[in-house]
Amino acid sequence: MHKITKPKLFKIRSANQAKKYGIAAVTLKELIKKACHLLKVSSSGGQVCLYEDGTVVTEEYFQNLPDNTELVLLPEGQSWNGLVHEINQVLGLDRDADLLISAAKGLLADERSPKRRRILGDLLRNLRDNSEVESREDDKDWFQGIDARFKTKSAYMKYNCESRIRGYLKEVDGYTRSIPNAKTKSEYKKVVEILAEKLKAARYNGTYFDRSERDVHRLCTEEGWFTCQGAFDENNCTFLHSINPYGNRESRILFSTWNLDHLIEKKRAIIPTLAEALKGNKSGDINVDYFYKLLFTRENLKLVHIVCHKKGAHELSCDSRKIYKRVRRTVK
């Protein structure tokens, strides 16, 4: 009498297609043969492995697999690294972005779990990337709510940066009112005027956000990706924050929560130091260039994600040696 062995049941798919088939076999050899036939691949040297983690199934291991285990049929020479393979497929999305978008949309439609909704939503947002187009006509949605005078994304982003930096100047200027001493006040005013001229000449440093600028002048890549530079007291961003406001409207709006953070703080340190330095001194004695750099340039500004924006006191002060113009030493 032959011993009748009950066939085992599996789900099988190939490495490059997600479609799964139910299959039954008594031995590994039989399974491979059937699977090759089913998936229409050559049977020489084929192997099967676990979908989950790529473990290659041996005849002995085969006997211990539970029913309905998901397997992948591998033609000779191919390997399967499980989910990593799938993730890579998703990330290499240039070809099938449209397919992926509709797939993600479909999943999202009847997804209830907030966590999964969030992940699918993020995926969709990232897939719907229009960063390569620049003009208003080509990406109307991006420009929704933006003044009609802006024709290109770069022009708007540049303006956005200019406004932020103009705001800093305005704040420096606003401090004038609170200086009680008339002489100091008028000298302070003169410094503000010089700062304003310098800043104007530099076109308010709007190039920082402008991807069409030369790379030394901009903070982003030429595609428009900005990377968080990390909190003022950190060397880099441990969260790996990054954003491309050129990509879609949502990213553009979200980018407004990113901050240009003064390392040496404008209000707590720079402005009071400047006012103090002018007590009993003339505007001409001040190293205006130093203050300019602190207030308005990358030398003292870090672009940070709101999470990396520490609003508490930075406890950094201006370099006392740089406040005044270098006094000419009397040479004997």
- Applying CB under 7 A, the residues found at the interface with DNA are 145, 148-149, 160, 162-164, 166-167, 170, 173, 196, 200, 203-204, 253, 256-257, 259-262, 265-268, 309-313
Using CA atoms, how far residue 320 sits from 151, 198, 286, 291, 292, in Å, is: 45, 22, 11, 12, 15
Toward DNA, which CB reaches closer, 80 or 209? Answer: 209
Cβ(71)–Cβ(11) under 8 Å?
yes
Question: Nearest approach, Cβ of 182 to DNA (angstroms)?
Answer: 20
Question: Nearest approach, Cβ of 225 to DNA (angstroms)?
Answer: 18
Q: Which sign does the torsion angle of CA 143, 144, 146, 147 carry?
A: positive
Strand, coil or helix: 208: helix
Toward DNA, which CB reaches closer, 14 or 160? Answer: 160
Residue spans of beta strands (DSSP E) within 39-117: 47-50, 69-74
Which positions ≥6 away from 14 have C-beta within 8 Å? Answer: 39, 41, 72, 73
Look up residue 197 and give its two tokens: 């001229």
Which positions ≥6 away from 8 have C-beta within 8 Å? Answer: 24, 25, 26, 62, 65, 67
Question: Nearest approach, Cβ of 262 to DNA (angstroms)?
Answer: 5
Strand, coil or helix: 9: strand
Question: Nearest approach, Cβ of 173 to DNA (angstroms)?
Answer: 6
Toward DNA, which CB reaches closer, 211 or 245? Answer: 245
Question: Nearest approach, Cβ of 212 to DNA (angstroms)?
Answer: 15
Question: Nearest approach, Cβ of 132 to DNA (angstroms)?
Answer: 23
Toward DNA, which CB reaches closer, 110 or 147? Answer: 147
Question: Nearest approach, Cβ of 157 to DNA (angstroms)?
Answer: 11
Toward DNA, which CB reaches closer, 111 or 173? Answer: 173
Look up residue 92 and give its two tokens: 């290499």
Toward DNA, which CB reaches closer, 41 or 196? Answer: 196
Distance of CA 56 to the CA centre of its chain: 38
Which positions ≥6 away from 200 have C-beta within 8 Å? Answer: none
Phi, psi of 190, rounded to the nearest 5 degrees: -60, -40
Toward DNA, which CB reaches closer, 153 or 262? Answer: 262
In whole angstroms, give the CA distance from residue 205 to residue 186: 27
Toward DNA, which CB reaches closer, 8 or 153? Answer: 153
Question: Nearest approach, Cβ of 83 to DNA (angstroms)?
Answer: 34
What is the rounded end-to-end Cα distance, in angstroms, of the chain?
119
